[in-house]
Structure 1
Amino acid sequence: MKLRIILILGALSAFAPLAIDFYLPGFPAMAVAFGTDEKHIQLTLAVYFTGLAIGQLIYGPLADRFGRRLPLLSGVALFTLASLACAYAPSLEWLIGARFVQALGGCAGMVISRAVVSDKCDAVGSAKVFSQLMLVVGLAPILAPMLGGVMVNLYGWQSIFLALTLFSVGAGIAVAVGLPESLPANQPRQPLSGALRQYGRLLGDRIFFGYALTGGIAIGGMFAYIAGSPFVFIKLYGVPAEHYGWLFGTNAAGFILVAQVNARLLSKRGPAFLLTRTVWVYLAAALALLAVSVLQTEALWPLMLPLFFCMASLGCIMPNTSACAMNGQGARAGSASALLGCIQFGIAAGAASLVGVLHNGTAMPMAMVISLCGVLAVIVAMWTRRLQRERALQAPV
């Protein structure tokens, strides 16, 4: 796949992390601006996850029926308008509503970028491209919180959403000029009327569902970290908002590094093999994180160490679950990508909300949710791998 297309797909995939990570340092300032507390500001994060989950179910059938470009450009335009609405929100309720619409627009890039990769690559090739996309996507968690912290201090939290507006305009121009239609002209177009049946068939595919659920649970742990880390780092351990991005970026750097190692290992081992090994690393790090949070250490670094390994392991888990789930989907790649994303961000919304519900002034709620995700990810990954082996044995020679 051409580098130009990978960069465009990376930018499209970055809509979600940018719209999340960029404004995290602004939580305290937004709470002051709207006369509320950070627990209520976290609702803008949870509703964004909900919008991502719902919106992806819409774009999948559209992408299979009308091709990849038209739904994609429509989604980018919607994200642009919603970002402006966020910047000029007069109340918290307005901001929550605008964030929901922003998510509905931003998820188009996530759904369709996966579908484009599936259009052009097999399972191993897809895993390699997804790992390369992680390099582009991973820059967002490194740069966005650092830049967001500086912008909040200099220009206020509204400047973050104005910057997102400019980014989406640039991405829309890149798609219009540099991303050709990838759905083959001779491939049957899936009718919109069959969308529910298509989703039903995908849910009935236990291997697809197992890989989607494994990735969703693991990503749920990541978003528990995203929801809880502003309080833990800034409030609990006194990290200045402008320095928050450095800590966040350290974990993102581990994520990028492991994703690139994963891309190289795929030439020797398949994505399913690497996935079933890495989920155990994720679980071990998550349990270590929980143990440290129970001790409530005065220093931050004992908490950061297992947190680093948790987030780094996702650099292998995320691309490999996507590749395994999308393998062989063909004409229904758009719907498969949409359902995959819906499952992932539906769980993410629940995990982020659970951190807020369990909030008790310590790091334990964040660590508990991440640990729960680690346990469940291992259970589902092992079950799915067993199903895949049984199917391989039953296949005709």
Structure 2
Amino acid sequence: MLARLAAVRALSPANNPFFMAALGVLTSFGPMGTDMYLPGMPTIGADLRVPQDQVQWTLSAFFLGFGIGQLIWGALGDRFGRRGPIAVGILLYGVACVDCSLSNDIAHLAGWRFVQGVGACAGPVLVRAMIRDVFDRDRAARTLSLMMLVMGAAPIIAPLIGGQILIWANWRWIFWGQAIFGAIALLALCSLPETLARDRRSSLRPMTLALSYRQLLTNRAYLGFAFGSACIYAGMFAFISGSPFVYIDLFGVNPEYFGFLFGINIVGMMAMSTVNSRIVLRYGAERMLRTGTALAAAAGLVVLAVAASGVGGLWGLVAAILLFMAMMSFINANAMACAMQSFPHMAGTASALAGMLQFCVGGVSGWVVGLLANGTATPMGAVICAAALLSLLLNRWLVRRPTPSHTAP
């Protein structure tokens, strides 16, 4: 077994049949860490005797840990290579999963969810850096889109698993399921080669890191790509945070069926990822991103209108959110590839800062949805709409209009 993994790891990424699949597994820590336990959120509130906004603390805590932790892993990945820090992150994630299952109050659960998020983010942030190590900008955007197809099963499967666990056991077993996923991810990591050569590794000295972040935060285009993507993530996390209560409590959907409604959005995202992967080399990542932000803003307005008016009931809201979520495939892969294009010497740090912004802004948006909760879908719709419009504004303001593209497919 170990010999076979070593032989696979020795292949170049272009010839490694497991490269994309393994990257997809490692990037799935976000949806596996959140989506699997979404059906159990109302049950957690009832069991721990806390209201909706306090249950949503556990989701925001994971997002914040996932965001802040990326700064740590990005720097470690640029200094020590990609594989070692990912392995440490997975082990930390596994320990936190066990402690989440043993928590008896919402404060301890939220605290361990934060730790879980810190560990979970090592895979996604350094996978993006690995892709930048291997590919140029537009091919990196294409690879990220293809990887979303590979990892697209996670947000579909995860809530279904969580819902089925709730039929046979209590919500605590959901975290044991997440721990099992961590073990699978560790096996996937064993098949990957190290993509960062020793002569390209950077220093961990505080002044060096400070100068790196200063370079990123003073780059107008980088800010446009990173903050614009973060706003779209805020819209997605508003949906993730609010949908269990809107679908299950407001519309009476059974928890075991929640995953099907959630998975509809992932099918839309996978379809648009396919489109993006096929045409991004022709039109360029920046042009695709500009189009995606405009379409997402229009979809956000539709979501707010449907949520506030109640037109179409449950299925009207599901359809409107599908439009918004599908547009994320035009935005996230292209924005991340564009954000890292000018910083190949610190791709891990650039990826980490962009990812930190995505999940910290997302964590705040989830908290806002809980704060505004009034028993309707309007707070969720309002946050989604505001996030999409702000993403469009930042893209138009900070990112220059792209020149006609060049690259042949």
Q: TM-score range by the shorter chain?
A: over 0.9
**Which residue of the partner structure matches residue 125 of structure 2?**
111
**Which residue of the partner structure matches residue 324 of structure 1?**
338
State yes or no: 1:84 paired with 2:87. Answer: no
Aligned residue identity for 1:311: M
Q: Among residues 220, 224, 236, which one is paired with 1:222 in the alignment?
A: 236
**Which residue of the partner structure matches residue 189 of structure 1?**
202
Residues 301-345 of structure 1: CA distance to partner in whole angstroms, max 9, x if unpaired?
Answer: 111221110000101111110111011311211111110101111
Residues 332-377 of structure 1: CA distance to partner in whole angstroms, max 9, x if unpaired?
Answer: 1111111010111111011111101111111000000001011111
| Cα pair 1:276 1:385 within 8 Å, conserved | no
**Which residue of the partner structure matches residue 372 of structure 1?**
386
Aligned alpha-carbon RMSD (Å): 1.5
Distance in 2 between residues matched to 1:367 and 1:328, nearest whole Å: 35
| Cα pair 2:220 2:399 within 8 Å, conserved | no
**Which residue of the partner structure matches residue 138 of structure 2?**
124
Q: Among residues 313, 326, 349, which one is paired with 1:299 in the alignment?
A: 313
Tell me the TM-score normalized by structure 1. Answer: 0.95
| Cα pair 2:340 2:351 within 8 Å, conserved | yes
| Cα pair 2:25 2:188 within 8 Å, conserved | no
Residues 125-179 of structure 1: CA distance to partner in whole angstroms, max 9, x if unpaired?
Answer: 100110011112321111111121111121111111101111101211221x211
| Cα pair 2:32 2:155 within 8 Å, conserved | yes
State yes or no: 1:351 paired with 2:357. Answer: no
- 1:1-397 alignment to 2 at 5 Å? 1=14, 2-175=16-189, 177-193=190-206, 194-297=208-311, 299-386=313-400
Aligned residue identity for 2:288: L
Provide the identity percentage. Answer: 37
Distance in 2 between residues matched to 1:47 and 1:363, nearest whole Å: 22
Distance in 2 between residues matched to 1:275 and 1:73, nearest whole Å: 32
Of 52-61 and 380-389, more deviation after overlay is shown by 380-389
- The 3-state SS of whatever aligns with 2:252 is coil
Moved over 4 A (4+): none
Residues 80-112 of structure 1: CA distance to partner in whole angstroms, max 9, x if unpaired?
Answer: 111111111122221111101101100101110
Residues 41-88 of structure 1: CA distance to partner in whole angstroms, max 9, x if unpaired?
Answer: 110001111111111111111111111111111101100111111111
Tell me the TM-score normalized by structure 2. Answer: 0.92
- The 3-state SS of whatever aligns with 1:300 is helix
CA-CA distance at 1:188 after TM superposition: 4.4
- The 3-state SS of whatever aligns with 2:282 is coil
CA-CA distance at 1:206 after TM superposition: 1.1
| Cα pair 2:53 2:367 within 8 Å, conserved | no
CA-CA distance at 1:5 after TM superposition: 1.6
CA-CA distance at 1:388 after TM superposition: 6.3
- The 3-state SS of whatever aligns with 1:190 is coil
Flag structure 1 segments of 5+ consecutive residues without an equivalent.
393-397
Aligned residue identity for 1:181: E
Distance in 1 between residues matched to 2:21 and 2:203, nearest whole Å: 28
- The 3-state SS of whatever aligns with 2:49 is coil
| Cα pair 1:127 1:271 within 8 Å, conserved | yes
How many corresponding residue pairs? 389
